[in-house]
């Protein structure tokens, strides 16, 4: 077969405009990213530290998102009955109000009400409860999102769609991280509570706005949805077994479970590492997160096109190598072998953002391609359950482990320290995930070394082209 055939088809896909409705989906993702970056990301971890949370409680907070994804198994029939759009709109609207209820909590830190000193333990308890409800609502209703996307975006265009999708998500995250970093600052006396309350207000408003963006997006339910909505639990169990017997799905689920076990705790405990061991201020920590997000934004479209052209698996292989290299540097810094200045930390975060994009974009495409189309909702649910079990186990395990390790005499003064163990174990799990990746079939995959050559030769040209596309915006249906 001529080598020009894939290039021609890639050109055809590039010249075909994306469906017009995706511009509303991109707006949703931008606003939604602002909402969840505050509610589930670095700002929330810093708020927990502000109120006195230890590593174990931080681990519980980080575990809520994957753990409560398990509720999707109870909601798959409901999604078919109510409709994907109705379920997503209801869930995203309701969860945003949890952030509104959290606004007073930082304001009460160190305060006295009617002669009663409000304890931080109470404030932390309420905050954890609201986070639980936020993730509970999300876990029940997010089952409708992927099937909805599959109804709007043709499979041949999903690599490009997810490239822009991730650009919008990371654009929203970048905007709020930069703004939060400047807003919180690096005051040695500490950040006042009203600033965290202001961030929670922004999160609530962004969540409300994200729902407004989704309302114009059409959703045509597949003909089989009505029958699926009436299935008994016995029929549903048989559907789950049928999906698990689908070999591409089973292999993909195993990879995602290992990948989730490796990385679910990384972002939250990296924040703890930078705060406690590196002794950085809140502004610097948020700035480091922002630079990582910027690296993802600048390369998301590039990796989306590469996954369309060369296949997902070799691109994810390159990303895994990059992830392990970044973890090696973090491990050396945690061991005290190397000392990193703020500029070097920013650079390392940018590199990690690039390799994260190289993993996420092709993963999303391969993820959807692995599902049996006649059981999309069941496949999404089962995959989320397996991934979420591992994703919840990671922070729940690492929180207590890090607290125990930091009190061990052998972890003080030498190169073996709690976060050395953390980064080393994450690297080991990444290697195992890469081994599982080798069993996933990608029909359009090219040899990894061939992709390396293409990256090295095409990188400068593609990067400037993508920057131009980012400034001009995605093609739209006229």
**Tokens for 73?**
């198994």
By CB atoms closer than 10 A (0-12, 13-18, 19+), residue 175 is middle
- Report phi then psi at 117, rounded to 5: -75, 120
Cα(161)–Cα(301) distance, integer angstroms = 9
For 404, residues 6+ apart whose C-beta sits below 8 A from its C-beta are: none
CB-based contact 60:128 (threshold 8 Å)? yes
Structural domain spans, the chain: 19-215+236-472
Per-residue pLDDT at 4: 39
Give whole-number Cα distances, 171 to 201, 328, 348, 469, in Å: 19, 28, 19, 14
Below-50 pLDDT ranges, the chain: 1-8, 10-11, 476-478
Distance of CA 468 to the CA centre of its chain: 26
By CB atoms closer than 10 A (0-12, 13-18, 19+), residue 410 is exposed
CB-based contact 95:139 (threshold 8 Å)? no
Task: Give the CATH number of domain 19-215+236-472.
Answer: 1.20.1250.20
Cα(404)–Cα(406) distance, integer angstroms = 6
Cα(339)–Cα(337) distance, integer angstroms = 7
Q: Give the CA angle between residues 349, 351, 356 to the nearest 5°.
A: 90
Q: 246: closest CA among 367, 372, 383, 73?
A: 372
SS3 label, residue 223: coil
**What single-letter DSSP state applies at residue 117?**
E
Cα(63)–Cα(331) distance, integer angstroms = 23
Q: 272: closest CA among 258, 263, 282?
A: 282
Q: Give the CA angle between residues 138, 79, 102 to the nearest 5°.
A: 20
Per-residue pLDDT at 323: 95
Per-residue pLDDT at 112: 81
Q: Which residue has the tokens 């905050």?
A: 127
CB-based contact 33:168 (threshold 8 Å)? yes
Q: What is the largest distance, in Å, between two alpha-carbon atoms of the chain?
A: 82
Cα(286)–Cα(382) distance, integer angstroms = 34
Within 10 angstroms of residue 452's Cβ, the number of other Cβ atoms is: 14
Cα(259)–Cα(437) distance, integer angstroms = 10
Q: Give the CA angle between residues 357, 359, 364 to the nearest 5°.
A: 95
CB-based contact 379:248 (threshold 8 Å)? no
Instruction: Read off the pLDDT of residues 336-367 as tens digits, 9 standing for 90 and up.
Output: 899 898 899 999 999 999 999 888 878 877 77
Per-residue pLDDT at 477: 44
Q: 204: closest CA among 306, 110, 274, 100?
A: 100
> What's the pTM?
0.74
SS3 label, residue 190: coil
CB-based contact 68:135 (threshold 8 Å)? yes
């Amino acid at each position: 077969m001529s080598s020009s055939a894939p290039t021609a088809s890639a050109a055809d896909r590039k010249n075909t405009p994306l469906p017009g409705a995706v511009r509303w989906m991109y707006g949703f993702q931008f606003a939604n990213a602002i909402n969840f970056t505050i509610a589930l990301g670095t700002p929330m971890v810093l708020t927990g530290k502000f109120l006195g949370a230890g590593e174990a409680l931080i681990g519980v907070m980080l575990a809520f998102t994957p753990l409560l994804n398990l509720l999707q198994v109870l909601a798959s029939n409901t999604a078919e009955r109510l409709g994907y759009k109705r379920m997503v709109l209801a869930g995203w609207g309701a969860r945003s109000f949890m952030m509104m209820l959290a606004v007073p909590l930082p304001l009460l830190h160190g305060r006295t009400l009617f002669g009663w000193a409000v304890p931080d333990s109470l404030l932390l308890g309420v905050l954890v409860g609201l986070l639980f409800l936020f993730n509970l609502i999300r876990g029940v209703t997010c089952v409708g999102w992927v099937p909805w996307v599959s109804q709007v975006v043709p499979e041949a265009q999903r690599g490009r769609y997810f490239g822009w999708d991730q650009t919008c998500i990371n654009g929203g995250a970048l905007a709020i991280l930069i703004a939060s970093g400047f807003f919180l600052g690096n005051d040695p006396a500490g950040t006042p509570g009203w600033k965290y309350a202001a961030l929670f207000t922004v999160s609530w408003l962004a969540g409300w706005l994200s729902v407004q963006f989704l309302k114009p997006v059409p959703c045509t339910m597949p003909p089989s949805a009505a029958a699926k909505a009436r299935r008994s639990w016995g029929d549903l169990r048989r559907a789950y077994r049928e999906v698990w017997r689908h070999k591409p799905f089973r292999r993909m689920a195993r990879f995602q479970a290992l990948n989730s076990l490796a990385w679910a705790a990384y972002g939250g405990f990296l924040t703890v590492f930078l705060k406690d061991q590196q002794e950085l201020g809140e502004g610097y920590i948020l700035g480091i997160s922002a630079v990582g997000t910027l690296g993802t934004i600048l390369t998301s479209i590039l990796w989306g096109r590469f996954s369309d052209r060369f296949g997902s698996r070799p691109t994810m292989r390159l990303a895994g190598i990059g992830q392990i290299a970044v973890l090696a540097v973090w491990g050396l810094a945690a061991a005290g072998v190397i000392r990193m200045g703020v500029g070097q930390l920013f650079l390392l975060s940018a590199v990690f953002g690039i390799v994260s994009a190289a993993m996420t974009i092709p993963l999303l495409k391969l993820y959807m391609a692995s599902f049996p189309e006649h059981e999309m909702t069941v496949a999404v649910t089962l995959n989320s359950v397996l991934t979420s079990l591992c994703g919840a186990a990671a922070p729940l395990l690492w929180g207590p482990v890090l607290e125990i390790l930091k009190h061990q005499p052998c972890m003080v003064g030498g190169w073996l320290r709690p976060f050395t163990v953390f980064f080393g174990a994450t690297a080991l799990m990444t290697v195992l995930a890469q081994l599982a990746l080798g069993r996933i079939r990608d029909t359009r995959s090219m040899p990894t070394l061939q992709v390396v050559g293409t990256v090295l030769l095409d990188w400068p040209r593609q990067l400037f082209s993508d920057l131009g596309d980012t400034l001009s915006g995605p093609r739209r249906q006229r």
